[in-house]
Structure 1
């Protein structure tokens, strides 16, 4: 047997042996963004935030929101927030959300980066500052992502209504 024939045979056998295994390798997939909000925990001042939602590389939402400073003494003790109107539709894809203080640098968050099996639907929000008072000047952004059932998110303010009936 010639060396070239042996190598060709081993290569073919290796590819055939891997054929059944490739289905077991998890791949990064798609998710649906059911809701997105910006919370301002910063007590010192309000901010104007710019937000962007991208799906599969295309911008599907852009908006600007003025969010008041957090008052921990308020009756609700809940930080002021802006829930983005769901204009991106209930469509699975590779979502990236970006937020910045008006005119500042964008903070980008990929919703499926590093996920072996992304959930069918997620809710996401960013926290500006923190709930223990400002720790950075200017305050930093923290990204929070939760798996959810899109049908439960649909009736919530800002929830994607199409999620209730994705057909």
Structure 2
């Protein structure tokens, strides 16, 4: 019962973070009604398809970009759809697999602990902010860059997504061994 309430709340926090990144990069400012519809669609889809959330998120933002902006290159659309979701997913995984387990000396899957899982979603925007500051990434400049840059960086971010997704999935699997006592 409690997870039926918590998961949509976590997805709402996820949407707010990813939307902020998307909006900063793409300069899209939809009407209030469109934003509410997008928010509700995101929370419903991400809650229902939680196992494949990393695929659902970019697809939803790609559809939103197609609906909200008529004139935009395909690679800019892909970059705006994938980059914010990659950053948010990377931050939550970094928190749940590396940072929180080592700080709290917990061995195993912290996502099974509801309060720590909530903490990863709450702290994710802070981790994203720190990563962007450390690597000096200015998301405001992304919308003014040309299509060649967008294509090259979308391909890089997609390759990075695949590598880190496999890496963190393996690390996550090693850390959540059910046979550890």
TM bucket normalised to smaller: under 0.3
Q: Say which one has the larger Rg.
A: 1
TM-score, L = length of structure 2: 0.26
The answer to which structure has the higher strand fraction is 1
Q: Which has the higher helix share?
A: 2
